[in-house]
Amino acid sequence: MNIGSLLPHHARYRPDHLSFVCGGERFTYEAFNAYVNKLANALLACGLVKGNKFATVLPNCTQLMAAYWAAAKTGLVIVPSSTMLNEGGLSTLLKNSDTALVIADAAFAGALDHIRNDLPAIGDDRYVLVNLDGQRTGFRSYDEFVDSANEKNPPDVPIDDHDMYNIMYSSGTTGAPKGIVHTHYVRAMYCTIFAASWRMTPESVALHAGAIVFNGAMLDLMPWMFLGATYILHESFNAEAVIADIEKEKVTHVVMVPAQIIAILNSPAFEPAKLASLEMIHNVGAPLLLEYKHRLNESLPGRFYELYGLTEGFMTVLDKHDAVRKVGSVGIPAPFMEMRILDAEGQECAPGEIGEICGKSPMMMPGYYKRPDLTEKAIIDGWLHTGDLGYVDEEGFLFLVDRIKDMIISGGVNVYPKDIEEVVIRHPDVSEVAVIGVPDEKWGEVPIAAVVLHREAALLPEELIDWTNSRVDAKFQRIRDVVIMESFPRNIAGKMLKREMREAYKRPAV
């Protein structure tokens, strides 16, 4: 399966259908195919060949979307990177992924200039900047890069199921980041399985206002291209703009994180009639609070979907027809997927019994990039061990209980406590640290740090917050609060009990 064949297919057979909208730009399939071809041919002209990696450090924009499909056409491997990364995190990611070319927003010119000597694999002519606005940076502009490239389809490249398409990094990290590999086959499964799950058609109109560098965007992005539907990409999230565009463009499908759904429901512009065209309101990234599920199902009935899943490749879907009777559940495995709930001895749990969620899926990653050790721990006998706790009811519907890995999901972004803990523990006054996620109305969860200080230290929480937040690799890793404790709660084996810390935490008054 070669997902690079999809765009030229639609350009040939439905050339005048509206394909892609971003900012003030509107493309038919024929026009978008030509736009993507210029980038694809430019990448090949600078010497990249099938299997080479190129990274993007871009906000939502037409160039970022073109990069996804240019990679698909050429057999190149795209490494989409968050614009929230700081220099250290960006340098680590680019080196770990063996990136040979970078397409970045002009705002990263300074950061790239600082780290370019640490990235010998990237030649000086392989830094391409978008949105330069006439600035002189010493790097090539995107317009200059593609200016002389051909608009015709690039030369055919033999691509099969097992060829790598992208590397999605689990977070911007220090030390050893985890690059999750997806092949053309995996992404083709995203195309077909989710197009069916969301009841999408070639006449569907999807709107996406979250960052498309995160894997959750693939839930509607891949089905859009598979079907030849219409995709509207917002450059940033604004609740009122989303509401207005849903009404104006007759949008049928939206995928959002909880913070976005909450913002829309609380917007003064919210009126159910304005969203009447919607056939799907999809929550992803973290469970939506029950209060908001009830509001959504009452004001816009028969539209709510929820997905539980890992970028590594296992998902369950709560269908809109089950959203009320199974409220609180995250659904059942998607087609072609299997699920087991296993206890500590590896035995399957009975309904209602809590255990680790494990799954099999045609969307499963072949592994973490250059980390066979981590792959062996995650995939055992063909089963992906999620590290999450849950149970199924008598009908097989999954209910989440806790995250074994203590991962924090803030605004739909995965935040790993260990990355932050590695920073906090470097403070000379800190003896022990535990980073936990606590509820937040806007972001779903935010990280806080509980610390035990050295005996004679007199560190103030505000000082440690400032110290830590100036050193983490990405904005989403910034801690909201610090709790100073005499000792951590522990179980009989000496393991600290983060759940007790979360339950005991009292958010400071504003």
Residue percentage of the chain with pLDDT more than 90: 75
What band does 417 get if pLDDT is binned at 50, 70 and 90? confident
For residue 115, count other CB atoms closer than 10 A to its CB.
18
Q: How high is the mean pLDDT of the chain? A: 92
Give residue for tokens 């890995």.
405
Mean pLDDT for the stretch of residues 8-29: 97
What band does 406 get if pLDDT is binned at 50, 70 and 90? confident
Q: Phi first, then psi: give them for residue 219, nearest 5 degrees.
A: -65, -30
Domain boundaries, the chain: 24-182, 237-403, 411-504
Can you list the pairs that 242-248 forms with residues at least 24 positions away whose Cβ atoms lie under 8 Å?
242/207, 242/209, 243/267, 243/269, 243/270, 243/271, 243/274, 243/275, 244/269, 244/274, 245/207, 246/207, 246/274, 246/275, 246/277, 246/278, 247/274, 247/275, 247/277
Task: Return the SS3 of 422.
Answer: helix
Query: Is the model's pLDDT at 510 over the cut of 70?
Result: no
Query: Is the model's pLDDT at 483 over the cut of 60?
Result: yes
**Fold designation for 24-182:** Rossmann fold (3.40.50)
Name the token pair of 231: 């995709």
For domain 237-403, the question of CATH label 3.40.50.12780 is answered with yes
Strands 99-105 and 127-130: parallel
Sign of CA dihedral 302, 333, 168, 75: negative
| The two domains 24-182 and 237-403 share their CATH topology (first three levels equal) | yes
- What region does 211 belong to: left with phi over 0, alpha with psi -120 to 50, or beta? beta
Cα distance between residue 232 and residue 486, in whole Å: 52
Query: Is the model's pLDDT at 287 over the cut of 80?
Result: no
Name the token pair of 110: 């300074």
Mean pLDDT for the stretch of residues 47-69: 97
Cα distance between residue 55 and residue 222, in whole Å: 19
Cα distance between residue 78 and residue 69, in whole Å: 9
What band does 175 get if pLDDT is binned at 50, 70 and 90? very low
3-state helix vs strand vs coil in the chain, percent to 5:
35, 25, 40
What pLDDT, in 10s, does the model give residues 202-229?
999 999 999 999 999 999 999 999 999 9
For domain 411-504, the question of CATH label 3.30.300.30 is answered with yes
Q: At what angle do helices 29-45 and 62-74 cross, to 10 degrees?
A: 70
Q: Phi first, then psi: give them for residue 339, nearest 5 degrees.
A: -135, 145
What pLDDT, in 10s, does the model give residues 256-286?
988 889 889 989 999 999 999 999 999 998 7
Q: Where are the beta strands (DSSP E) in 265-337?
A: 280-283, 304-310, 314-318, 332-333
Rounded to two decimals, the pTM is: 0.83
| 17, 204 contact by CB (below 8 A) | no
Cα distance between residue 179 and residue 175, in whole Å: 13
